[in-house]
Amino acid sequence: MLESLILVYLLIAFCSFLDLILIPLKLKKVIYVFLGFILIFISGLRYGDRDYFNYINGYNQAPLWDSEFMQMEIGYRYLAYLLKIFGFSAEAFIFIFSILSVTIAFIFFRKYTPFVFLAVLIYFSHVFLLRDMLQIRSALSIGIVMFSIPYIEQRSLKKAIIIISIAGLFHFLSYFFVLVYFLYPFLTKKRAIYIVLLGFLLGMVINLTFFEYLFKLTKINILHWYLHGNELYKKSLGLLNPVLLKQLIILLIVILNYDLLEVKVPYLKVLLTSYVVACFWLSAFNDFSIFAARISTLFSNVEHILIPSLLFLKGKEIYFLGILAYTYVAFYVKWEDLELLKFVFNT
């Protein structure tokens, strides 16, 4: 499967050059939809990743309500149960989930940026390979929650909460996105810097002992699972981890060019607020990798819009090449894990 993924990366990278030139809108839509079908095919028919068999087993257990299946969110459980009633196999369930998550992601890109192919390239090289190919509940949930962005700017709490709640039916982490709603009115460029600095200061102090004490106080099951599960969950990311450094660079560029980008990028302040929270979270809780990364990725999902928006700035060709280089590195470092994957029809 790795060879197929490399070819898809090269195809999307080639298509990203179309964001630099004018092409007929109809042709652009056809190519965009074609890429969407390819990604649905890949994620829906993949086999053998570390989460794949957990989802298959969970689906096969539905609706045994006393099984591990009950640990899943209610929206996921009932969607699985409904599809099982209609006779769909576990493999078909995975494919349907892929249709939903990839389609929602593509609608999000089309709605919020004119540089759609570059957004897809960023998505494919990182998020798609981690979420849509592995953490399918998270992929669908985060895709849904992004549609609360306009209502956050409009200060429509009811509509924002409705969308966040729907997303939370598939993964509870989406509920954290309500932080963006409440932080949004208070965020300025200066406060954004202070919040990130605070995250770094907390990151020097907070360690696993803090989370163990937090569990004793709250008895939150997910904390217990993270603390006593896979040893990799407790790995420290460090304050100089590559993802955080990337986020800081993007954040700095956006803040320095905020006034120019504000007239070009819809809902820029909401996007910036979300990205600031992502940087804060990843730095403050860096000593507890899964807690830091899983929640930070919810907020950093807006980078599919923020990063392509750099093409609005002077020297867009330099930014474009830099983005291409970033996507190649992000894709390349995952090759070892991707070598284990197969297509379900090749098993």
Q: Which of 52, 128, 84 shows the shortest CA–CA distance to 347? A: 52
Average pLDDT, the chain: 86
Task: Determine the pLDDT at residue 234.
Answer: 66
Chain segment 155-179, per-residue pLDDT in tens: 999 999 999 999 999 888 899 999 9
Range of lowest pLDDT (23-37, 46-60, 103-117, 130-144): 46-60
Q: Please report, for the chain, the start and end positions of each structural domain, with discontinuous segments joined by +.
A: 1-134+319-347, 187-313
Q: Write out pLDDT tens, residues 63-111.
A: 665 555 456 777 888 888 888 888 888 888 888 889 999 999 999 999 9
- pTM for this predicted structure: 0.90
Q: Please count the other Cβ atoms lying within 10 Å of the Cβ belonging to residue 148.
A: 25
